[in-house]
Amino acid sequence: MIEKPGTKGLFAWALYDWANSSYFVIIQTFIFAAYFTKTIAENVEVGTAQWGNMISVAGIIIAIGAPIFGAIADQAGRRKPWIAAFTILCIIACALLWFAEPGTDSLWLALTMGFLATIGAEFAFIFYSAMLPDLVPPEKLGRWSGWGWGLGYAGGLACLLVALFAFIQTDGLWLGLDKETSEPVRATFILTAIWYALFSLPLFFKTPDNPSKQKKIKEAIHHGFVQIKESLKEVKKFKNIVRFLIARMFYNDGIVTIFALGGVYAAGTFDMNEEQILMFGIGLNVTAGLGAFGFAWLDDKSGSKFTINASIVGLVIPLIALIIVKSTTWFIIWGLILGIFVGPIQAASRSFMARLSPPELTNQMFGLLALSGKVTSFIGPFLVGFLTLQFGSQRLGMSAILVMLLIGLVLMFTVKENETSVIEVIPD
């Protein structure tokens, strides 16, 4: 175990949320996803399906790899090398999206780099989140998880503001960018790479890491697979965790699909352009950040389970409205209300797993947490894409998200709070 860091070390840890959010707001949600469907893909409907399928394939890879890498990291000890490797992968892929010019000739470049960026950002975030229970005492898990998510939304907001005022609204004229080839939009992908690289540095310099267990990589890999095998044998001791993971499998898939295809929905159904989507994204990050900060205390006071359930209900109501409304104004209003509950449910899920996880299996359990969010992640985007193509309506496609959230809510009522298990693991 590591010595608990001071405020600077914890802030440096939370600042990685700020850095990582640049990928999720610029690439996955508000700018590149919409740019891809409207400018690179054949048409909006086909682009929606292609983007959804790419996210689905990436989700399958993450689902398979997360528990494996997590178990190996448990055996190796340190987490920062894993975070660094996947952070670099995401940064490089985001930067290369600059070369995704308008037109179908850039289709495979856009999808490939989008896929690699997704893999890098998601895997890095798994190991980053797994650091939390070693950095703070149990009674402060909720607030620091919430503050981290809140800082992430603040980072997303700041990155969107820079993208809007430095590149989109000015058409990048101060840099001599060519609007005809969408260079002002493509420059935001370079901004994402720089943002991620710069603000991730404090984590590596200021936040302590678990000590290395001095195992060779081959030995750590072998013991990691043995650890997974032993965990599967003792799965009955983890029934409560399994129930939570299955519930999260559904409600998180709904949330991921909202963010993966939200910009696409705004562009296709409400004909919002890049600047309008950016402004909406800025507002959404404000409400999501306020929700994450505000609910952080509720998590520690009333429990993670209560916070998760309340947040799901808070998501369902505005989502129904978003599917029904036809006015762009009302779409924005209900979208901002929905944003309030996105941060709390994500932060509470992280703190809930931190509370339930046996200390010696933390990385593996957070890998399983990622698995629960990815193993069915292909279903959400696939269903939205399939229903959109089948009925020629993005509204009907987005209704699939509502079903996933409701299933998650029902399953959460079967989960017990503050119940954990310990099994024998591979000795050092």
Say how far apart CA 41 and CA 312 lie, in whole Å. Answer: 33
pTM of the model: 0.73
Is 211 exposed, middle or buried (CB count within 10 Å of its CB: 0-12, 13-18, 19+)? Answer: exposed
Evaluate the CA torsion angle 318, 319, 323, 327 in order and state its sign. Answer: positive
Q: Which two tokens stand for residue 339?
A: 């944003």
- Is residue 311 within 8 A of residue 341, CB to CB? The reply is yes
Say how far apart CA 255 and CA 272 lie, in whole Å. Answer: 21
Q: In this predicted structure, what is the pLDDT of residue 215?
A: 63
Which has the closest alpha carbon to 313: 406, 246, 404, 243? 406
| Angle, in degrees to the nearest 10, between helices 394-412 and 239-269 | 160
Q: In this predicted structure, what is the pLDDT of residue 426?
A: 42
Q: Per this entry, what is the length of the chain?
A: 428
- Is residue 422 within 8 A of residue 401, CB to CB? The reply is no
Structural domains of the chain sorted by starting position, each given as residue range(s) with its CATH number in brackets: 7-412 (1.20.1250.20)
DSSP 139: G
Q: In this predicted structure, what is the pLDDT of residue 109?
A: 95
What residue type is assigned to position 143 of the chain?
Answer: R
Q: In this predicted structure, what is the pLDDT of residue 194?
A: 97
Please state, in angstroms and as integers, the Cα–Cα distance from residue 24 to each residue in 67, 283, 338, following that order. 22, 15, 17
- Residue 26: how many other CB atoms lie within 10 Å: 28
DSSP 421: -
Print pLDDT tens along the chain (428 aa).
456 667 788 889 989 999 999 998 899 877 888 889 889 988 877 887 888 788 878 878 887 777 777 777 766 667 888 899 999 999 999 999 999 999 989 999 999 999 999 999 988 988 888 787 778 777 777 777 878 878 888 888 889 889 888 888 888 778 888 888 889 999 999 999 999 999 999 999 988 876 666 666 667 676 666 666 666 555 566 788 888 888 988 888 888 787 767 777 777 777 787 677 777 877 877 888 788 877 777 777 788 889 899 999 999 999 999 888 888 888 888 988 988 998 888 888 888 887 877 766 666 676 666 666 666 666 777 787 777 777 777 788 878 888 889 999 999 998 887 654 444 444 44
